[in-house]
């Protein structure tokens, strides 16, 4: 995630979504080149020009060198199924697009998404069962390392379910302000300090006026069935650590 110095990931009107340097954009593609799949929330996926692809041939070669598929899988969380079937991501067919939704999403919306996505899978009723979805992705699509690219609402759910191992954060030399500007983790959040996600700084580098940080998640809240998912993902990921 790219974040301003005041903790925002976009402006309050959501008009500005890309504010990192070119170096930061490359960093994002480098991260994608380490993962089987990229996941994002419906609002992020719906933005113009978002393909969630691996980028230039250099990154595709890097993927092949690592023993990954040339193109990463693309996964979108849309609990209500309101994701538009006209989103850019569906117009680029280089790799499967998988939509994660719930049984409470209206059937007409799901059918419209089924017409453009490679698979629409339902997990949970009122809320998306993310641990269940990740277990399924592990088994059905052989996803071993997943890069979640936000936005804030999806990030919050991933953290609350204890499904995050690492946080890659770029602090950009900007300040957006705005009470309604989204932050790194939106949604329900945690109510008590004891429940907060604990992070350990594993890496820190300055490039120009940007700071590149990698945090390891060291404390996780207990949640339904996430331990086995994490174990499975962490195990098969252990030999694919970032350089």
Ligand X SMILES: NC(=O)c1ccc[n+]([C@@H]2O[C@H](COP(=O)([O-])OP(=O)(O)OC[C@H]3O[C@@H](n4cnc5c(N)ncnc54)[C@H](OP(=O)(O)O)[C@@H]3O)[C@@H](O)[C@H]2O)c1
- Among the residue ranges 57-65, 124-132, 207-215, 225-233, the one whose residues contact ligand X (CB under 6 A): 124-132
Q: Nearer to ligand X by C-beta: 158 or 233?
A: 158
> Residue 146 has what DSSP assignment?
E
Q: Which of residues 38-57 bind ligand X (CB under 6 A)?
A: 40-44, 47
We find the least distance from the C-beta atom of residue 108 to ligand X, in angstroms, to be: 14
CA–CA separation, 156 vs 41, rounded Å?
A: 11
Q: Nearer to ligand X by C-beta: 134 or 154?
A: 154
| Cβ burial, residue 158 (10 Å; 0-12/13-18/19+) | buried
Binding mask 90-119 for ligand X (x = CB under 6 A): ------------------------------
Q: Which of residues 135-174 bind ligand X (CB under 6 A)?
A: 149-154, 157
Q: Which of 10, 68, 97, 113 binds ligand X (CB under 6 A)?
A: 10
Q: Which of 119, 166, 186, 216 binds ligand X (CB under 6 A)?
A: 186
CA–CA separation, 203 vs 216, rounded Å?
A: 9
Q: Which of 80, 103, 223, 235 binds ligand X (CB under 6 A)?
A: 80
CA–CA separation, 27 vs 29, rounded Å?
A: 5
Q: Give the count of residues interacting with ligand X (CB under 6 A).
A: 30
**9 interacts with ligand X by CB under 6 A:** yes
CA–CA separation, 17 vs 5, rounded Å?
A: 15
- Among the residue ranges 6-14, 190-198, 204-212, 231-239, the one whose residues contact ligand X (CB under 6 A): 6-14
Which residue(s) pair with 205 in the sheet?
A: 212
Q: Which of residues 194-223 bind ligand X (CB under 6 A)?
A: none
Size of the chain, expressed as the number of residues it contains: 243
DSSP string covering 35-104, please? -SEEEEEHHHHTSTT------SHHHHHHHHHTT--SS-EEEEE-TT--S-TTSGGGG--SS-EEEEE-TT
Residue at shortest CB range from ligand X = 151
Is the peptide bond between 151 and the residue preceding it cis, with omega within 30 degrees of 0?
yes
The Cα diameter of the chain in Å comes to: 49
Which residues lie near ligand X (CB under 6 A)?
A: 1-2, 9-10, 14, 17, 40-44, 47, 77-80, 82-83, 127-128, 130, 149-154, 157, 182, 186
């Amino acid at each position: 995630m790219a974040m301003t110095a005041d903790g925002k990931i976009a402006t309050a009107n959501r008009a500005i979504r890309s504010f990192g340097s070119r170096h930061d954009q490359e960093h994002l593609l480098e991260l994608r080149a380490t993962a089987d799949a990229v996941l994002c929330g419906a609002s992020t996926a719906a933005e113009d020009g978002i393909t969630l692809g691996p980028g230039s041939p250099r990154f595709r070669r890097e993927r092949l060198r690592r023993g990954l598929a040339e193109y990463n899988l693309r996964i979108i969380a849309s609990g209500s199924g309101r994701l538009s079937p006209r989103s850019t991501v569906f117009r680029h067919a280089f790799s499967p697009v998988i939509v994660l939704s719930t049984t409470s999403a209206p059937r007409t919306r799901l059918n419209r998404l089924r017409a453009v996505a490679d698979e629409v899978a339902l997990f949970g009723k009122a809320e998306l069962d993310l641990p269940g979805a990740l277990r399924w992705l592990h088994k059905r699509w052989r996803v071993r390392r997943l890069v979640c690219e936000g936005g804030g609402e999806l990030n919050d759910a991933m953290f609350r379910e204890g499904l995050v191992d690492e946080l890659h954060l770029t602090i950009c030399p900007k300040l957006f302000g705005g009470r309604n500007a989204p932050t790194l983790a939106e949604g329900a959040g945690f109510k008590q300090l004891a429940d907060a996600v604990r992070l350990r700084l594993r890496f820190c580098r300055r490039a120009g006026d940007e700071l590149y940080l990698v945090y390891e998640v060291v404390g996780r809240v207990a949640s339904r069935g996430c331990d086995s998912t994490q174990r499975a993902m962490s195990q098969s990921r252990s030999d694919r650590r970032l350089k």
